[in-house]
Amino acid sequence: MDFCDVLIAGGGPAGSSCAWALRHSGLHVVVLDKQNFPRDKICGGWITPEVLTALKIEPDSYASHGVLQPITAFKTGCIGRHSPAATDYGTPVSYGVRRCEFDYYLLKRCDARIRYGVSVNTIERSGKDWVVNGDIRARLLVGAGGHFCPVARKLTRAIAAPVVAQETEFEMDSEQQTRCPVGGTVPELYFCPDLKGYGWCFRKGKFLNVGLGRLDPHELPAHVDQFLKFLSARNAFFHQVPRLRGHAYLLYGTSPRPFAGDGFLLVGDSAGLAYPQSGEGILPAIESGLMASEVILSARGDYSPTRLEAYARKLAHRFGHTSGSWAMRAARHLPAHTLRFAARQLILRPRLARSIVLDRWFLHR
């Protein structure tokens, strides 16, 4: 039987950030991930600069390892309407990364013992310890396995309506790179008419990422189809977009999963932390991994619920209370036609699109 102090189930940004922050702690940390890295992750790969700041990553240094596409402007529009509006910031306000590179980079520098290609299958309590897969004993479990995290599924009974999204990322050949109408520094965002989701075209050097996410899980394929037809009608280039693949995740304030309990913490998508307005999940995953590490250190080996509940307080302090903003609560009670009208005003008026949609919802400015 192997032994560790902290077993992190999942080596995405949440799990690797937690491990990275514990690297000088003297604690024996093991990360298990069911996949072999580098691995793909269904994601747009858009990150805000706080991601790099939180992890002390110099943009130039990262760019020497992999794709780091600076974003200095956005185009925003509505699906079905032409002529998106451009908002230019004149300086990088976000970046684009490839998740296959980014996640591997984070894992390699976290200095923990990493077991690639090992799925967490069984979790049993043994006194105050956990026994995982019958062969690793751990004092504390960190659930970092994303939306379908085995720790969250074993220790909590959570059913909530997730965001559903589909995307594809493909490498363009030189002819496609010339013909691609999307500029690397200017991602394009097209909102669904009911504002329950948006599609994106996001170029990162020679890679193009196209996708659409929605709060309403029922008719995603129809919305994706409508979006692709809209893009293709604007430019025949989009006929070449390969098939999109889907995944789900929970937004902050919609997940009934507890953040912590007796001997466990949930971080990132496992806890359901993505920003409700933009769906950005990488930053909350990283920040929650870092907060979890602070709580682990201050618990000094006492992983009882009373010591670990400090983590839930930190999350509430950082992301607000889980009932959501007053605007979101009010929106749930508004009739559909009022919402559609409000959505059109927001997206189609350049000043509102910049100050509310981009500055506030997407860029935290």
Ligand X SMILES: Cc1cc2nc3c(=O)[nH]c(=O)nc-3n(C[C@H](O)[C@H](O)[C@H](O)COP(=O)(O)OP(=O)(O)OC[C@H]3O[C@@H](n4cnc5c(N)ncnc54)[C@H](O)[C@@H]3O)c2cc1C
**Are 23 and 47 in contact, with CB atoms under 8 Å apart?**
no
Residue 83 tokens read as 């002529």
**Are 257 and 112 in contact, with CB atoms under 8 Å apart?**
no
CB of 25 to ligand X, least distance (A): 20
CB of 288 to ligand X, least distance (A): 8
Q: Is 19 in the site for ligand X (CB under 6 A)?
A: no
111-150 binders of ligand X (CB under 6 A): 119-120, 144-146, 148, 150
**Which is closer to ligand X, CB of 115 or CB of 307?**
115
> Which regions of 234-361 does DSSP assign to beta strands (E)?
245-249, 260-261, 264-266
CB of 299 to ligand X, least distance (A): 21
**Which is closer to ligand X, CB of 188 or CB of 269?**
269
CB of 12 to ligand X, least distance (A): 2
d(CA 299, CA 88) in angstroms, rounded, equals: 46
Answer whether the bond into residue 256 is a cis peptide, omega within 30°. Answer: no
Residue 178 tokens read as 């010339």
What character string, x for contact with ligand X (CB under 6 A) and - otherwise, covers 309-348?
----------------------------------------
- What pairing do the DSSP bridges indicate for beta strands 29-33 and 2-9? parallel
Quote helix, strand, coil % in the chain, to nearest 5: 35, 25, 40
Closest CA to 13 of 244, 318, 289: 289
- What pairing do the DSSP bridges indicate for beta strands 129-132 and 260-261? unpaired
CB of 291 to ligand X, least distance (A): 13
Q: Is 162 in the site for ligand X (CB under 6 A)?
A: no
**Are 225 and 182 in contact, with CB atoms under 8 Å apart?**
no
Phi, psi of 110 (to 5 degrees): -90, -5
Q: Is 6 in the site for ligand X (CB under 6 A)?
A: no
Beta bridge partners of residue 4, listed in sequence order: 138
Phi, psi of 116 (to 5 degrees): -80, 150
Tell me the chain's radius of gyration from C-alpha atoms.
21
Q: Is 14 in the site for ligand X (CB under 6 A)?
A: yes
Q: Is 280 in the site for ligand X (CB under 6 A)?
A: yes
**Which is closer to ligand X, CB of 319 or CB of 344?**
319
Q: Tell me the residue nearest to ligand X as measured from the CB.
A: 281
Instruction: Identify the residue among 152, 274, 290, 353 touching ligand X (CB under 6 A).
Output: 274
Q: Is 228 in the site for ligand X (CB under 6 A)?
A: no
CB of 83 to ligand X, least distance (A): 24
Q: Is 287 in the site for ligand X (CB under 6 A)?
A: no
155: enclosing H helix or E strand: helix 150-155
What character string, x for contact with ligand X (CB under 6 A) and - otherwise, covers 61-100?
----------------------------------------
- What pairing do the DSSP bridges indicate for beta strands 29-33 and 163-171? unpaired
Instruction: Identify the residue among 21, 55, 142, 165 touching ligand X (CB under 6 A).
Output: 165
Q: Is 167 in the site for ligand X (CB under 6 A)?
A: yes
CB of 302 to ligand X, least distance (A): 26
* Contact footprint for ligand X (CB under 6 A): 9-15, 32-35, 41-47, 119-120, 144-146, 148, 150, 165, 167, 211, 213, 247, 249, 268-270, 274, 279-283, 285
